[in-house]
Structure 1
Amino acid sequence: MADPVTVSAAVGWGISAVGWVVSPIITNLINKGFSYLDLGSRGRSAKLNELENKVSELRRVLEAVEESSVRDRLEPLLDRLKSAFYEAEDILDDVEYYHLERQILFQPDDKFRRNWMKKLQSALPECSCLKKQKSTGRSSTSTSAPPDVSRLALKRILDKIENIINEAHKVLPLTNLPGYTRADIVSSSTRSAVTTATPPPVVIGRDKDRDDIIAMLHENVDDIQPGSGSIIGIHGIAGSGKSTLAQLVCASEKNADNFDLIMWVHVSQNFSVRTILTEMLEAATGKQCDNWNNVDILERNLEAELRRHRFLLVLDDIWYDGENQQELQKILAPLKAGKAGSKILATSRNMDALLALGAGRCILISDMDDNVFLKLFMHYALEGANIDDQDRRIFEVIGVDIAKKLRKSPLAARTVGGQLRIRLNIDFWRDARDRDLLNQTMGALLWSYQHLDEQVRRCFSYCCIFPRRHRLKRDELVTLWVAEGFIRTTEKVAGSDCFRIEKGLQGVIIPPGVRHLSIETFDKKMITEKISEMESLHSLIIHGSDIDMIADETLFESMFTRMRKLRVLRVKTFGFKQRKELSFPNSISNLKHLRYFGFATGSTSTCKLVLPRTMTKLYHLQVLDFGYCRELVFSSEEDLCRLTNLRHFIASDQELNIPNFGRLTSLQTIPLLTVTKEAGCEIQQLAQLNKLRGRLQIEGLENVESKEAAAGANLAAKKGLKELVLVWDWNDESCSPDFQAEVLEGLCPPMELETLEIRGYRRSMYPSWLVGQLLNLNNGPKFLNQLKLNRCSPLGSIPQQSELFTDLRSLVIWCCSWDSLPDNMERLKSLEKLELLPPFQIDLHIS
């Protein structure tokens, strides 16, 4: 494993120190904190703008720092800033917890709770928070002031953050970075590094790519208008040379007469339409433009100027986030005024952005030839070096091996070559060659990491807490990121936040400031005596264990009592040898910040898990994951509907027994749902759970009272559902086949449903939403791939007007009579698989 010194030497110190600390993330946190304090909107805005400028300046300087003598002074400041950031997050989380608690305790639709709270308020002293809220007449759902303790703590930590930023800011003038003045930094604080049309002094290996693109630009110069088929795109990973290639094209075209105007505009990730249009007008006129507040006037002026020209416009560094396509089109609108033959050349890291822009051709930038790449790398590593011929030959031999590890990344060649150029020491070069730091794909990852969005950096670095070769599951990882608040692999990019213990604590020194910890080899003593002392932990993940030691209430009591800042607590075990029941202690309510609580057991586990009443106070909780536990018991099921932020309730083979579960409107994943006739457990509770996705199994449909009640479940609005299982009790004859048909008619699923399974249905009639015409887009699934029938009566022939089975590829019939197959099977023209299970005992595959 490469040591931190080698990491800094190879890729620049900035990658490990800057990260997400000095980024918009911290100014967003400061803004959120200010909103809870008694600062007027004008004062808050002014102070925030001042801090944003300082943070932006700090970030851009750090990105340029490599061997500055002030590096050692800045790094401790950044560590303190990161620690203060986490502390502020904890305090803000406390504040939000209090607000959630008030909202839940004052729910307007709960008359009993409202009356009970009124009585409680009348008995409370005047100084209490609840009494204060009543006396000031504030709504329970408003952003009311947090308790005084939290307010003071919040003010203290925000002052601390501001002081650290100011202290770091005072160090910046000492950097003396050549060509990097404070004026340059401040003027560009709202944009990322801006490129120009001028190529670097030396460009190696891009002549053919340049000529190919120029040939495309010269095609159809008389009949294509800008904005139609005139956009050519170049895409590739960060640092692959896209902008340099576009610069070469511009330089070549300046010496030709194909375009009388060449413009270059750097777009960047967070662009403003007005800013981009202003830069276009300035590039077209060669003059500084007025600060147009009216975009319409700006567009008209740009159109008037472009009517005089056949232009080439380069839009460098296009980004697409799935939502800004309309903004991209606004950029293109005035360009249609240009003369025929005008062209647009765009660069982006991914093809989707170019397609969103409307590119007619998208070109993936090519890899360099091995010899050409070696020449490029040696240019950055040795060009102009004052060394004798013998040393140069040695450096060149070592350089060949280093270049092979850089995966032909021009950015890697420039970055690593530049670092080696200022360290012309043969031992250092040999050490860099022999390290794994640059090997295989790691080099490309490190270079790309520098250019990731700050939010993505936090998500990426978090992955290092998982063991080597750990199989990451997409949904599981995303829920962990969400729990940690990262969504709005190596130690090399994780900094000091993340740490992994692989084989016990012996000889392991845990760095101070660790917030995310994973443990592969479980040791109770390690948890109770060492890990529990880490009171600032945000994540604790304990990987697989098959010993009973983990099923110990005292172990969890220790964690719940001392590790109160946890956002993620996840224990994965394969089962228990002796222990048959585990009761979690009441102290779990101390984990007010907890988002993800997982105690996932294997499929062979027989342990019963008992959760205390106090769990209903975990208002931030988003994920409950209990794997394959044999039995799950909540001490207070009726109060679980307080967990209004719960998104995923994972418990295989368990029923969702939460009265009034319809209040949990954030739910996306739920276990088996059994509806009853009891109040709060009816099928209508599903009405507002429109974020459900994946698989939904509903049992107890014999308890649905009417077709209207079934329609009240509003299944059609749950567009994220891919699989739906509808179950009647085959042995319950109180529900007639005709009534079953009415209920099924009301259970119309969403259009995007892919798999439908029906169990215990005793009527032969299809619901109208299953056999309606394809053109009727209002009801029923349109792209059904799989239909399963289990213990159902024979269904009739597929109606001639039905086109809904057009995409059906799999038909599965279980435990039905022989005549369950429709008699016009020939209509299933897309069918690939037919399964007939007992009593058929036949498995047919149709190709």
Structure 2
Amino acid sequence: MKIKQENASLFDMLDIFSTAISRMKLKKRIQKIENTASEVKKSSLLGVASKTTQNDIANKNRSKIRTSSKRKVFGREALRDNIMAKLRETSPSSGKSPCYSVIGIYGVAGSGKTTFARYTRDYIEKKCKEEKLFDTTMCIHVSETFSVDDIFHEMLKDITGDRHSNISDHEELEEKLNKELHGKRFFLILDDLWVKTKNDPQLEELISPLLVGAKGSKILVTARTKDAAGALCASERIKMPDLDEDQYFLMFMHYAPGGTSVADEEEFIRVGRVIAEKLHQSPIAAVAVAGRLGTNPDIMFWKNTANHGMLSDTMDALWWSYQSLNPDIRRCFEFCNIFPRRSKLRKDELVHLWIAQGFVKSSCATEDMEDVAEGYIQELVSCSFLQPEVDDSSEEEYFTIHDLLHDLLAKVAGSECFRIENTRSHRGEGWDEEVPQDVRHLFVQNYDAELISKKILGLENLRTLIMDVVEFNTPVEEKVIESICKRLPKLRVLAVAFSEKQIGIRKSNKFSVPKSIAQLKHVHYLAFRTFGSCSVTLPSALTKLHHIQLLDFYHGKLMLEFPFAELVNLRHLFCWPSLKFPNLGRLISLQTLPCFTVSNEQGYEVKQLRDLNKLRGELLIRGLENVKSKEEALEANLAAKEWLTDLRLEWDGDNDTRCSPEVEAEVLEGLCPPVGLQILVIHGYRGSRYPDWMVGKQSGGPEALQHLSLSGCSQLGPGTEFEAFPHLRVLQIWFCSWESLPGNMERLTLLKQLYIWCCKNIRSLPTLPQSIEELYLASCNHELMKSCKTAGHPNWQKIEHIPRKYIG
């Protein structure tokens, strides 16, 4: 029993470790490779003209947004070199002077300050890597109403990769930041600073942890005004220069083709120059107007645009670009105005919210609204209304909206969208403004029971209520949620997000959804985003919400078995993977499912998955030891689930509850995944052999597989051959009892990363492909790891060509 418990804990640790690596870092690297190829295909000389009709908007491949997350920079080399020379300067040593010096750049909104600041950061990190100018770099957007604590969290994220959201006390947060910056030469970008004087109390708080850095640290400030750019006593304030005419035109035409082949046609170039001249060197206007032109490569459309009188003013140019969008896309974009400026907007969340509000229109019954909505996003990205954001800590896709576009949205959305930015910073001020009575979509930055009771419950037309954060010291009174359900019956979206620490300090550590939830008869999107330490009790009345499309409980533990099968319109379910629910097979519209656990009880058979062919993204299937035959496994019909990209198959239990190795082999044979699968994880498999679809003896398996992880596989002898996966880029082998790796490894000519952990029986390595860039070998046979470190040893020779190796 003790050994079994130890193994279980190892597998739990493996689960965390493997997930963290495979689904974030490694998946991103695969994506990076694909993006490179995609960018080549997108070049103006190879593209095909796109149309903005409803049929063409749908993105049938459900792939990531392929537009580069970083704008191409034109004509800024001189400014870059000037800034780099200042960054290389060594500050004179003085006990009184701070460890850092400051450079300020100022210019009007939309002049390219943020793009240039990020360009400078990337230039330092990539082009100046060998110089080691700085120990750490941080790029922080400040905004007009910034929170010092939020900025400290963002600094920690840039330094350590972790926001340290669990730290809510200001002094503790500052102490942590002090520790991380102590003695380090840092480069800090403070983008869009609004303060005017160095005596601003928040600014003083903001810079106090920076004093522990090493001499030679630098701060680059961008601001709209000269005063704000010099608020930190910038030694020099530089006005953001206009691009020269030729560079501006190059930028304009770079974005104008947008995947079309017009760039080399003389007439388009002539008309394009006329349009560019009207835009008065405004970068944001160039990107927005050019993006719209690129979606319509008709020369008459370009000529009509050139004759348009609205393009000479930046805001008018943005308005023209906005007006030329499809009306349904405009409505979706207007909805984004409920979010605070510069918020990171998660792609999937936008898609689900738009659909819940009925903003997304499909042109035929077989077309999924999610596909159409992703097409909307692609359209908004093409004209830079949504700007992709890089977040290395997450595999999800995020977007931001430029401040000038928020100004535009504020005018067109009017009072229909509203946000309550009741930040709880050290100013100690509450929110005391009025809420428009005709508001339909409302975002509340922090949960506040009094605010809800006094100003929100009377909003009769409210369709959206999002409470973004429940602070750690603010309990959610269930009577308040009950009042919302009773007083706001027209809601289509109700979302409450608990902070992790808030859940942790609740005395009962429980949250009960009130029975009155049944009165929200129009709700499509219901989210109580809690954490694993919180138990969520759901009432049976929830089954009366027949329109519900999305349920989101995040990591909360649902306390009882729930008859979700009655919610026949459910499309997305987010919750802790331990949830069990019977008769899942009725939910044929289901697209997102965190986990399905097979058991020997009625309603939990693997055949429940048979008709769920709209499932997409990730799927974890547990309890496969309860599947007793190949015929039973085939009833899962996994091969038909063409939208699945990430599949995890798990066996568990001891020898008394497991089938024979031969039966397990038959079961895995019957669980053949779809052809388009990209990531496959197999855990706890004890079958006597590997299936034909894995070893290349039959067609129809996941031939495009890029990431394979095998853990806890107990077969003796050599590991499985990988003939079926010629496109494999990442291979992970954990806790496997193989005596050797497959002999055909060198045929995996695209393999980039190889991870081997806790495989005690492997004593030698086969010939490895030259393509491998990273090897991780840990807790394996001592002699194997020693030989890999011994120069001249055959194992050492087989890994000598790998640039990045970790052995230990």
Q: Which amino acid aligns with 1:453?
A: N
Distance 2:570 2:448 in 1: 31
What corresponds to 1:746 in structure 2? Answer: 670
Check the 8 A contact 2:530/2:555 in 1, yes or no: yes
- By how many angstroms is 1:498 displaced? 0.7
Which residue in 2 is equivalent to 1:685?
A: 608
1:647 aligns to what?
Answer: 571
Contact 2:628–2:659 (8 Å) recurs in 1: no
| Aligned-pair CA distance for 1:443 | 5.6
Q: Is the 8 A contact 1:233 1:361 kept in 2?
A: no
| Structure 2 CA distance for partners of 1:799 and 1:702, relative to 1, 3 Å | closer
Q: 2:534 aligns with which of 588, 607, 612?
A: 607
CA contact (8 A) 2:523 2:548 kept: yes
Residue 730 of structure 2 is matched in structure 1 by: 810
Deviations 1:541-586 (A, max 9, x none): 1112223534211110110001011111111121322241111110
1:511 aligns with 2:511: no
- More deviation in 466-475 or 545-554? 545-554
Unaligned runs of 5+ in 1: 1-230, 237-266, 271-318, 325-346, 378-399, 421-437
**Structure 1 residues 521 and 268: alpha-carbon distance in aligned structure 2, compared to 1, 3 A threshold:** closer
Task: Name 2:487's counterpart in structure 1.
Answer: 562
2:394 aligned with 1:467: no
Matched, 1:617 2:544: yes
- TM-score of the two chains, using structure 1 as the length reference: 0.49
For 1:151, the equivalent position in structure 2 comes to none
C-alpha deviation, 1:640, in angstroms = 1.9
- Among 454, 473, 476, which residue is 2:327 paired with? 454
Mapped to 2, the partners of 1:452 and 1:796 lie a distance apart of 61
Give the fraction of aligned pairs with identical amino acids, expressed as a percent.
42
Q: Is the 8 A contact 2:449 2:477 kept in 1?
A: no
CA deviation after TM superposition for structure 1 residue 647, in Å: 0.9
| 1:412–1:443 Cα contact (<8 Å) kept | no
**Structure 1 residues 674 and 767, CA, compared in 2 at 3 Å: closer, same or farther?**
same
1:360 offset after TM fit, Å?
12
**Contact 1:524–1:550 (CA<8 Å) still a contact in 2?**
no
CA contact (8 A) 1:765 1:796 kept: no
> Which structure 2 residues correspond to residues 115-154 of structure 1 after superposition, within 5 A?
none
After TM superposition, the structure 1 = structure 2 runs for residues 277-296 of structure 1, keeping only pairs within 5 Å, are none
1:521 pairs with 2:446 = yes
Asked if structure 1 preserves the Cα contact closer than 8 Å seen for 2:271 and 2:306, the reply is no
Give how far 1:826 is off: 2.5
SS in 1 for 2:625: helix
Instruction: Give the aligned partner of residue 396 of structure 2.
Output: none
Aligned to 1:661: 584
Would the aligned equivalents of 2:590 and 2:615 in 1 still touch at CA under 8 Å?
yes
**Counterpart selection for 2:359 from 455, 470, 486:** 486
1:842 aligns with 2:762: no
Q: Which one of 672, 687, 691 corresponds to residue 767 of structure 1?
A: 691
Instruction: Say if 1:232 and 1:362, in contact at 8 Å, map to a contact too.
Output: no
Pick from 452, 459, 465: which aligns with 1:540? 465
C-alpha displacement of 1:762: 1.4
Deviation by residue 1:51-74 (Cα, 9 ceiling, x = unmatched): xxxxxxxxxxxxxxxxxxxxxxxx
CA distance, structure 1, for counterparts of residue 715 and residue 535 of structure 2: 41
| 2:711–2:735 Cα contact (<8 Å) kept | yes
Q: 2:649 aligns with which of 726, 729, 735?
A: 726
TM-score of the pair, normalised by structure 2: 0.52
CA RMSD of aligned residues (A): 3.8
Q: Say if 1:812 and 1:834, in contact at 8 Å, map to a contact too.
A: yes
- Distance in 2 separating the partners of 1:233 and 1:728: 46
Which residue in the other structure is 2:659 paired with? 735
Deviation at 1:528, TM superposition (A): 1.5
Match of 1:497 among 394, 401, 416: 416
Conserved in 2, the CA contact under 8 Å of 1:764 and 1:795?
no
Shift in alpha-carbon separation, 1:412–1:365, aligned structure 2, 3 A:
closer
Q: Separation in 1 of the partners of 2:285 and 2:728?
A: 48
Code of the residue aligned with 1:633 in structure 2: it is: M
Answer whether contact 2:669 2:692 (CA < 8 A) is retained.
yes
Give per-residue Cα distances to partners, 1:484-534, cap 9 Å, x unaligned: 111124313323311111127744232232110001132211112210111
- CA change 1:707–1:482 in 2 (3 A) is same
After superposition, the Cα gap between the structure-2 partners of 1:824 and 1:764, relative to the gap in structure 1 and judged at 3 Å, is: farther
Q: Distance in 1 between matches of 2:318 and 2:695?
A: 51
Q: CA deviation at 1:796?
A: 6.1
Written as runs of structure 1 = structure 2, the 5 A alignment for 1:577-616 is 577-579=505-507, 580-602=509-531, 606-616=533-543
Q: Which amino acid aligns with 1:492?
A: K
Q: Which residue of structure 2 aligns with residue 792 of structure 1?
A: 713
Aligned to 1:822: 742
Q: CA deviation at 1:375?
A: 6.6
Check whether the contact 2:551–2:573 (CA below 8 A) recurs between aligned residues. Answer: yes
**1:712 and 1:627, CA in 2 relative to 1: closer, same or farther beyond 3 A?**
same
**Equivalent pair of 1:698/1:725 in contact (CA under 8 Å):** yes
Q: Which amino acid aligns with 1:611?
A: L
Q: Match of 1:587, as an amino acid?
A: S
- Between 744-753 and 761-770, the greater mean CA deviation after superposition: 761-770
Kindly state the Cα deviation for residue 536 of structure 1 after the two structures are TM-superposed. Answer: 1.5
Question: 605, 624, 628: which one pairs with 1:701?
Answer: 624
Distance in 2 between the 1:453 and 1:521 partners?
A: 34
1:820–1:541 CA distance, 2 compared to 1 (3 A) = farther
SS at match of 2:675: coil
Distance change in 2, residues 1:414/1:513 (3 Å): farther
The change in CA–CA distance for 1:535 and 1:233 in structure 2 (over 3 A counts) is same
Q: Secondary structure at the match of 1:763?
A: coil
- Alpha-carbon separation, structure 2, partners of 1:818 and 1:584: 49
Q: 1:722 to 1:460 in 2, by over 3 A?
A: same
Look at both structures and tell me which one has the larger radius of gyration over its CA atoms: 1
SS at match of 1:566: coil
The answer on 1:572 being equivalent to 2:497 is yes
1:811 is displaced (CA, Å) by: 1.2
Give, in whole Å, the separation in 2 of the partners of 1:640 and 1:768: 36
In structure 2, the CA distance between the partners of 1:480 and 1:622, relative to structure 1 (3 Å rule), is same
Q: Which runs of 5+ in 2 are unaligned?
A: 1-44, 61-252, 290-301, 362-405, 424-429, 761-775, 779-798, 804-808
Letter paired with 1:472: L
Q: Deviation per CA, 1:718-742: give whole Å up to 9, x if none.
A: 0111111111115344321111001
More helix per residue = 1
Structure 1: how far apart are the matches of 2:47 and 2:670?
A: 50
Distance in 2, matches of 1:667 and 1:466, equals 28
| Structure 1 residue 633, shift from structure 2 partner | 2.1
Question: In the aligned structure 2, how far is the partner of 1:362 from the partner of 1:676?
Answer: 64
Q: Deviations over 1:820-841 (max 9, x none)?
A: 5223322323222111112568
| 8 Å contact kept, 2:525–2:549 | yes
What letter matches 2:559 in structure 1?
V
1:633 to 555, 559, 573: 559
Provide the rounded CA distance (Å) in 2 between the counterparts of 1:789 and 1:623: 32
